[in-house]
Amino acid sequence: MGAAAHLGIKPGEYDKMIATLIPHYSDLIDAAAAAVGVVARTAPAVVDLGTGSGTLAQRILRVRPKARLIGIDADGAMLATASRRLRGNIQTIEANFERTRIPRCDVVSASFSLHHIPTGRRKAAIYKHCFQSLRPGGMFVSADCYLASSAILRKHNREAWLNHLQRTYTRKKAENFLRTWAKEDVYFTLDREIELLKEAGFGVEVTWRNDSFAVLVGLK
């Protein structure tokens, strides 16, 4: 299921709506792109997993204008949106990124796409696939929701998410969003995600974090 269908909206509505749903969204995307700006070579080949409307790919292009972008997504309508957004400066592959070959590259990026992978075994497999697809010196970067290890912090962070949603929606609707997403989205703790990346061979850094949201960087 594509990002727009997952949220029950049309592809053209995604960019307008996503910031009302995800706390710190713009800061997260900027931080992920900034990590690419620090680590990646001048003209990297970038593969964006679950590229959606192309928001992260566009931000990466701002910090690395010579980047060659490849977006993989199962939702053709979202890929068309990304292509328009980037004025054709992205090669698109309509496929499930778990089931297709990741082209040889310098950067593998993702934003709010890997939490659709439901098991640790499958998450480990995609991280290994990413590691194998990267050239030496390459990097993996992901902006997503990563749970705290302690129950008290998880409760606090969930309430912070609800408070963000209530800037736009009622409390009832905000709670319904989280319940509905929980049927499809699987969030691991930050510690577990770091373990899985290290097991795949990466050196791991957390370059940005606020509440349940973080940017993870894996270095090859």
pLDDT surpasses 60 at 3 = no
pLDDT surpasses 90 at 6 = no
Q: Write out the DSSP string of 18-78.
A: HHHHSTTHHHHHHHHHHHHHHHS-SS-EEEEET-TTSHHHHHHHHH-TT-EEEEEES-HHH
Instruction: Report pLDDT for 100.
Output: 97
Q: What is the pTM of this model?
A: 0.93
Strands 91-94 and 105-111: unpaired
Q: pLDDT of 146-202, one tens digit each?
A: 999 999 999 999 999 999 999 999 999 999 999 999 988 999 999 999 999 999 999
